[in-house]
Structure 1
Amino acid sequence: MKEMVGGCCVCSDERGWSENPLVYCDGQQCNVAVHQACYGILTVPSGPWFCRKCESQERTARVRCEMCPLKEGALKRTDTGGWCHVVCALFIPEAWFGNVQTMEPIILKGLPPERFNKVCYICEESNRAAKATSGACMQCNKNGCKFHFHVTWQKGLLCEEAGTYMDNVKYCGYCSYHYKKLVGCTVLN
């Protein structure tokens, strides 16, 4: 029996609700937990459930996010046959979902090349300089800030803000300096 612990790998919320429960992967040595809506699960299974990575049975060493150096977490296939974290796709503006209900495949063909030529300041500050330029980075949402970072390193600094007319939610993140000065967003732990 697998111990059911941990929050959603997409939004980090540890709570589940009857209309949006946390679903835990039954894959061997997999720690993925996701809300039904956060991962695009159309019907909550009554029996075992496997995340897309475990379902694919692809060798773990070959599965890595195309946008960050992290290999664990809630991954989905991309339009190029690779993998991407759902959270990375939500926070990198040029990424989108081919099917918004199932949240797959993650479409990366619209990512501009310059998105991949940034240096993650968190990797550099955390003695992970070798990974600082892997994948794609988002930029701090504060106008004029030049800090870039991988989405998956920013747990606790990612936000949902009220969107404009056609956008009901804007996903954004801030560097640690600007996050401390932040007011008016719902923080995703």
Structure 2
Amino acid sequence: MKALARKPWGFMLIFLASITLLITLLVPFQTALIFYKENTNRIEMFLPVEEGDPFQLIFTHSIHLTDVVEKYEITDKKTIRQTEISFEEFAIGMPSNAQGDEQFTYEDGKYHIKNINQTFDQIKLRNGKVVSENRLVWGDGAHYRVYLNDYVEPGAWFTLKVEDITLWQYLKGVEIHE
């Protein structure tokens, strides 16, 4: 009779442990800037972020071969706000002036459009194929920098979004770090 009384407790303990493990693995716990492969929900890589965190996307313009720096920040609504763009040469695809409350300046040999307040739910990004020197920079004062080629092939493209990830996604994904 004692053996029968122990079985329900053992089963209950295993059941509770399984539920706890599932909740731990499947409940979102970390906000991240996620690089989804193309138009899929497959996480190629991610960068843990918090509200207000700044980051930059830097690419070498394929025509004038100088760096273009796009500055962004993470909003409280888990969107991406562009705050500034800087570049050295006017060319195809580059802005020629500021709009609305934006400020167009020339400093230290670069053109800047500051005070940009454009918000995106997602950004489509292609890692350069011909001139493949795209970089991701993050942290206060842009302390951390990686080349996207260290993580993906030249020519690959992504959909960037800010979302919460689960421990399971965190463990099986590729965290961007320097």
Give the TM-score taking structure 1 as reference length: 0.20
Higher-Rg structure is 2
Greater per-residue strand proportion: 2
Higher RCO (Cα < 8 Å, 6 or more apart): 2
